[in-house]
Amino acid sequence: MDIGKNLTLLRASKKLTQADVATILGVSRPTYIKLESNPRLFTQEQIETLKRLLEVEYEDIFLPKTTHNVSV
């Protein structure tokens, strides 16, 4: 799974908007949109805040599990 898409799903699962997370991270919404689409641009401090906010570990954000649909 794409890291940005994974982050979007994690955020949505907590019922947080992009504006909510932007405010918590201290950035503008347009900046957060760029970060969410390219999560490798987050600072270490922002990553730590995201982990606490989303109640996940680093791996849950940046090493998303892939699912395979296999037909037998």
> According to the 3-state scheme, what is the secondary structure of 3-51?
HHHHHHHHHHHCCCCHHHHHHHHCCCHHHHHHHHHCHHHCCHHHHHHHH
Q: Is 26 left (phi over 0), alpha (psi -120 to 50) or beta?
A: left
Per-residue burial over 52-61, b = 16 or more CB atoms within 10 Å of its CB, e = otherwise: ebbebeeeeb
Total-model pTM: 0.82
Looking at domain 3-62, its CATH class is mainly alpha
In this structure, what DSSP letter does residue 65 have?
P
- pLDDT of the chain, 72 residues: tens digit per residue: 688 999 999 999 999 999 999 999 999 999 999 999 998 899 999 999 999 999 999 999 988 776 434 444
Domain segments of the chain: what residues?
A: 3-62
